[in-house]
Chains A and B, each alone.
Chain A
Amino acid sequence: MEFSKSQGQASSLWFGGSTSEPVGTFSVIHQVLVGIILSIDLNVITAGLTMKLLRHQINGHIGGRQTDLLLCLSLQIELKDIIIIIIMSKEARPSWDSPMQFVLACVSYAVGLGNVWRFPYLCQMHGGGGFLIPYLLMLVLEGIPLFCMELAIGQKMRLGSIGAWTAISPYLGGLGIASVVTSMYLCLYYNVINAWSFWYLFHSFQSVLPWAECPVNANRTGYLEECEVASPTQYFFYRETLNISSSIDENGGIHMGQALCLLLAWIIVYLFIVRGVKSTGMVVYFTATFPYVVLIIYLIRGVTLHGAWNGVKYMFTPKLEQLANPQTWINAATQIFFSLGLGFGSLIAFASYNHHNNNFERQAVAVSLINSGTSVFASIVTFAIYGFKATFNYENCLERMRLLMLNTFDLSEETISVENVTEWIHHLNVSYPERFAAIASKVEDCSLEAELDTAVEGTGLAFIVYSEAIKNMPLSQFWSVLYFVMLLLLGMGSMLGNVTAIITPLGDIKLLSRTFSNETINGLVCLLCLLLGFGFTSRSGNYWFTIFNEYAATLSLLFIVFIEVVSVCYVYGLRRFEKDIEDMLGHRPNWYWKVMWAAVSPLLLFGLFIFYIINYIQGGTPTYQAWDKHLGKSVVQEYPAYGQAFIALLLVSSLSCVPLVALYVACRKKRRGTPLRKHAINTVTTSTV
């Protein structure tokens, strides 16, 4: 960016073209994007001046490829100061081949793993079908308006998050930087999930799925002890996939298999984004649509499984008393917020490649509804699978009890059947109390409700519960491959958005894009994330992963989006925003949008932010689940001091960007001796001939 500052009364507008003498030092190949941000004294504004930059039909006067252009504005009134920022680009900003690509990219980004593993859990915890009421309400109150706002900003400014927020107000550059920092943290740990999906996918190509049976011990008399106390699927995840240590303090070596899978994941991400929008646009046709194919296949398979109906019925019977619990509403709001991927800068980046008149309003509504619809659809599939697994375990439990009774009391096999086990247990307890007391420790209480009640979310659901259900299906290798391919596509689709959120603002920085080509910048970003991501493949890596998952992108996002909404409505001005939208769409946003942007969404976000802070303070020392290999389950442990310091560092590093940059800009302006209050008028236009 070039700054040229002229002081004085008036500058003349001249086109450096009449003599065809190159005036500036820039050379343009295809198109010139000229943006002028004027910093004008308040007096000037009250004079009622608005300036708009004319399209440079001057190209016709000068002609040729070397069109050097310099524009200044001629003003009739006194200007205290003019700061002219000329943004030039070597080539036209790349754009999506069609609006459909943009919509599919947004769908692919928003529909991610959270739809599959977080929403069903929330549904189960908060009253089944009744949870849909707060969920849909929050979608209307905060989801759709915020989504639309981010698309509008991106499409208007045609820059990544840093450039866009700097254009809105120079003090707000920190907002863009905070978005990039948060995206960076997300990229670091999110691809590790893709690495796990690859690991499971590659291990599905065996005659017997490795998580179906426990490995035998050395003298082949029984199974490994850790696998006996846990289950084969848990053993495979914690021991063979992660080789997890028993606490965050114990470090170990890097798991080579994980490291290879992470390398593969990053290479594939690089392949998808290497050409920017051109390559991403091709890929999203597949990553956005294929998961739905798999979900439909799984739905058909799921509802035909034995016992699936138990799960679906359990999920959809609404327990409306949960609506009185405030936690339900808070969880609905946060789920909508995080599920749509707001605040990372990905939506701004995607929208910045749009044509100026793209109808983003309709697309925003469509993508938000698709995202929520996918959540509900995925939870039907999940609960069918839950029902199958719970019924399977329940029937196994009954069978075990039947055998126990038969063996203890030496009854013939036909006397007790699976249906009347419970009655027989009762009868035998009454008739032979002493013999029954001897085996009382082994008697389990088999209950289908209890099996269905085990609510799991997150990686535990995706990699343990689902794989346990899959191994019991007929033709399990096929279902396993299909499932992990779906997880991969969902994860990769979201990664595309996350990485685009980083490389778009970096590509907008002239210094970088002049020294390195786009491909090199993208490659360097991927390489850096890969090297840092190797830390998550160590033995205690999963605990660091949990830190990032819970703290890196939660509070900071709420803060970022809250500042976004407030600054668009009150710093930039809602009226100006309306005019920009009218310029792009041809009509002004109606009262729904205005009310949500100005009042409802900021209030909701502020409330959530305060709630999170109170939760952190009240929660005491943060804890995590550590895997105990002797007990075969996770135990709660507190984070050590350096762990808590790291959490604080994560939060502070992204939250502090906003005030720090604002302070820096204010200091720099003061040092230049300029008057204090400035208004920024953004007159960025593109010139498309």
Chain B
Amino acid sequence: MLAGVLLLIFLSPLVAQDPCKDSKDGFKVRLSIKTALGNDAYEWNESEMFLFRSTVAYAMRKQTNQDTYNIENILVCNDTQRVSFVFVVTSPDNQAQLIPKAQVEQAVRQNKRRINSAFLLSDMTLEFVGIPPTLSAPITYKTQPWLIVFGVVIGGVAVGIVALLMSTASKKRRAKGKAAGLSEEDEGIVKENGTALSGLGGNHGVYNQAFSNDDRFTQL
């Protein structure tokens, strides 16, 4: 009986469930440091892992507004060469109890930007498998920029047309004025003989006093 009790005492930690590996509340994390930073890439070691655990703890603190989360509450396993691993979050009150997946997801999503910048990575290179990245909000404009450019161009074109039509109208008016008057210096190709027939077109002749019937001056 003593042997049985001793066996139980020694075996229990061995058969105890690993909360990290088998849990369904865990998230797989993948980092692509060389892709993101190239030559400036840092080595992934225990200290970096420490930083990661502390950022997740920070995220949990912010999300639950409880200052009780600590590094010990973040358990990590399945560490690979890829730099990918699985982590779970335990409750600060009870080490055996795990925080549900949805809550962890919400915490990570809210603080993703801070977590990214801690590692100099982006949403593409620091992946939480199963947590879609929150894309940046699209830029909204009060007036669409294309309308502004459109307005400028169509304004310029309208001014051009109005100017053209006005110049045509004024040219016509000038041409009419010329036809009414008898300007000899016309640009027409037709050359005139300079005969008196140039007066045919107009209705103002040259007043020839010799033929006038006006006898104002010769009152007898």
Contacts and interface: CB of A to CB of B under 8 A. Distances in A.
B115 interface: no
A206 interface: yes
B135 A275 contact: no
Contacts of B147: 202
Given A221-B134, A260-B150, A413 B83 contact: yes
Interface stretch (B4-12, B29-37, B63-71): B29-37
A215 B164 contact: no
Contacts of A532: none
Given A267-B157, A268-B157, A689-B191, A66 B201 contact: yes
Contacts of B34: 413-414
Interface string A369-413: 000000000000000000000000000000000010011001111
A309 B4 CA distance: 78
A157 B165 CA distance: 30
A480 interface: no
Interface stretch (B16-24, B52-60, B192-200): B192-200
A60 interface: yes
A64 B83 CA distance: 99
B216 interface: no
Interface string A175-210: 000000000000000000000001101110111100
Given A63-B198, A410-B82, A411-B81, A264 B157 contact: yes
Contacts, number: 118
Given A202-B146, A413-B32, A267 B158 contact: yes
A274 interface: yes
Contacts of A59: 190-191
A63 B201 CA distance: 10
A52 interface: no
A406 B168 CA distance: 73
A64 B137 contact: no
B63 to A, nearest CB: 18
A220 B134 contact: yes
B181 interface: no
A64 B33 contact: no
A220 B150 contact: no
Interface in A113-145: none
A413 B189 contact: no
A216 B135 contact: yes
B132 interface: yes
Interface string A42-61: 00000000000000000110
Contacts of B161: 267, 270-271, 274
B194 to A, nearest CB: 9
Contacts of A494: none
Interface residues of B, number: 45
A478 to B, nearest CB: 15
B149 interface: yes
B188 interface: yes
Given A20-B200, A66-B200, A279-B164, A30 B149 contact: no
Nearest to B169: A519
B153 interface: yes
B205 interface: no
Scoring B80, B153, B195 by chain A CB atoms within 10 A of each residue's CB, the highest score goes to B153
Scoring A63, A67, A223, A263 by chain B CB atoms within 10 A of each residue's CB, the highest score goes to A63
Contacts of A206: 145-146
Contact of B201 (A64, A199, A203, A261): A64
A380 B68 CA distance: 67
Contact of B154 (A201, A264, A275): A264
Given A275-B164, A519-B165, A31 B189 contact: yes
Nearest to B135: A216
A637 to B, nearest CB: 32
Nearest to A264: B154
Contacts of B81: 410-412
Contact of A407 (B82, B134, B136, B149): B82
Contacts of B111: none
A92 interface: yes
Interface string B140-176: 0000011111100110011011001100100000000
Contacts of B160: 271
Given A64-B197, A221-B132, A407 B30 contact: yes
A678 interface: no
B118 interface: no
A64 B191 CA distance: 8
B192 A64 contact: yes
Contacts of B145: 202-203, 205-206
Interface in B40-93: 80-84
Given A274-B161, A410-B84, A92 B135 contact: no
A65 interface: yes
Nearest to B172: A517
Given A30-B188, A199-B146, A519-B168, A216 B82 contact: no
A689 B135 contact: no
A412 B137 CA distance: 34
Nearest to B164: A274
A429 interface: no
Contacts of A407: 30, 82, 84
A118 to B, nearest CB: 28
Given A29-B188, A59-B191, A222-B132, 14 more contacts: A63-B193, A65-B179, A65-B188, A65-B190, A205-B149, A206-B146, A216-B135, A216-B137, A221-B134, A271-B157, A271-B160, A275-B164, A275-B168, A406-B82
25 contacts: A20-B200, A29-B188, A59-B190, A63-B193, A65-B179, A65-B188, A66-B200, A202-B150, A203-B145, A205-B146, A205-B149, A206-B145, A216-B135, A216-B136, A260-B150, A267-B157, A268-B157, A271-B164, A274-B165, A279-B164, A407-B84, A410-B80, A412-B81, A413-B33, A413-B83
Interface of B: 30, 32-35, 80-84, 132-139, 145-150, 153-154, 157-158, 160-161, 164-165, 168, 179, 188-193, 195, 197-198, 200-201
Interface of A: 20, 29-31, 59-60, 62-67, 92, 198-199, 201-203, 205-208, 215-216, 220-223, 257, 260-261, 263-264, 267-268, 270-271, 274-275, 279, 403, 406-407, 410-414, 519, 688-689
